[in-house]
């Protein structure tokens, strides 16, 4: 009986000691890297024109490409209309060929390229003034605003601040969600020291 008890105690001590060693080794072993945290997102299902505008602004300041593109109408995603961007007159004259075929993919590429030139801890700053819904109907709305967009990117030949006047036509899509079907950009409605528009950034970062 004593022999069995002795054997039991020895085995228990052995197992306990081995477990302690393995646990200690695990503490100092190299761990697999954790998945990077997803970028901050405040996207809300766009059930109204005002939510579209809120998503539009936050997607830019949060550097969230998918949310930005989700604000634009896309027939592949159930949109009733193809998204159209109309650049400011001066930029269109310089890059007419580029904007003739401009589409959602162009927007994605340009936005990705732009935020890729920003330091990790730097976000775009979008300021909107005189903002209002100019037209509102049960299935469409038009949002207008003067804007200033500041992007502290690393490309020295491209301005880091642009300004102008935007007109966003928004419409209800399949499933009751709203999105931007037409984005018209133009020079500032008031004289401004910044003479470059958002259209120029789109063109410069298009590839």
pLDDT digits (tens, 9 = 90+) for 101-110: 999 999 999 9
Instruction: State pLDDT tens for residues 134-180.
Output: 999 999 999 999 999 999 999 999 999 999 999 999 999 988 999 99
Same domain membership, residue 64 and residue 14 = no
The reply to whether 42 falls in a domain is no
Same domain membership, residue 95 and residue 13 = no
Residue ranges making up the domain that contains 198: 49-204
The answer to pTM > 0.85 is no
What values do phi and psi take at 147, rounded to 5?
-130, 155
Running DSSP on this structure, what letter comes out for residue 172?
A: E
In the numeric block, which tokens belong to residue 202? 């789109």
The reply to whether 44 falls in a domain is no
CATH number assigned to the domain comprising residue 194: 3.10.450.50
Pick the closest to residue 41 from 59, 18, 68 (CA basis).
Answer: 59
Q: How many domains would you assign to the chain?
A: 2
Same domain membership, residue 103 and residue 26 = no
33 burial (CB, 10 Å; 0-12 / 13-18 / 19+) is exposed
Same domain membership, residue 56 and residue 19 = no
Report yes or no: 203 and 98 within 8 Å, Cβ to Cβ: yes
Same domain membership, residue 82 and residue 16 = no
Write out the DSSP string of 71-93. Answer: TB--GGGT-SS--EEE--HHHHH
């Amino acid at each position: 009986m004593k022999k069995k008890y002795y054997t039991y105690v020895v085995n228990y001590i052995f197992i306990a000691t081995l477990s302690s060693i393995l646990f200690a080794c695990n503490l100092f072993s190299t761990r697999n890297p954790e998945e990077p945290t997803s970028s901050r997102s405040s996207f809300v299902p766009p059930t109204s024109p005002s939510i579209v505008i809120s998503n539009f602004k936050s997607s830019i300041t949060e550097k969230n490409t998918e949310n930005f593109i989700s604000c634009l109408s896309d027939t592949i995603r159930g949109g009733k209309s193809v998204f159209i961007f109309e650049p400011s007159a001066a930029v269109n004259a310089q890059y007419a060929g580029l904007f003739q075929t401009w589409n959602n993919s162009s927007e994605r590429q340009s936005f990705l390229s732009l935020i890729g030139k920003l330091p990790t801890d730097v976000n775009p700053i979008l300021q909107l003034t005189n903002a209002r819904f100019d037209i509102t109907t049960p299935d469409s709305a038009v949002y207008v605003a003067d804007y200033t967009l500041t992007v502290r990117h690393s490309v020295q030949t491209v301005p880091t601040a642009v300004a102008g006047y935007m007109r966003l036509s928004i419409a209800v899509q399949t499933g009751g969600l709203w999105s931007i079907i037409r984005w018209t950009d133009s020079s500032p409605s008031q004289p401004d020291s910044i003479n470059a528009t958002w259209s120029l950034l789109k063109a410069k970062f298009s590839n």
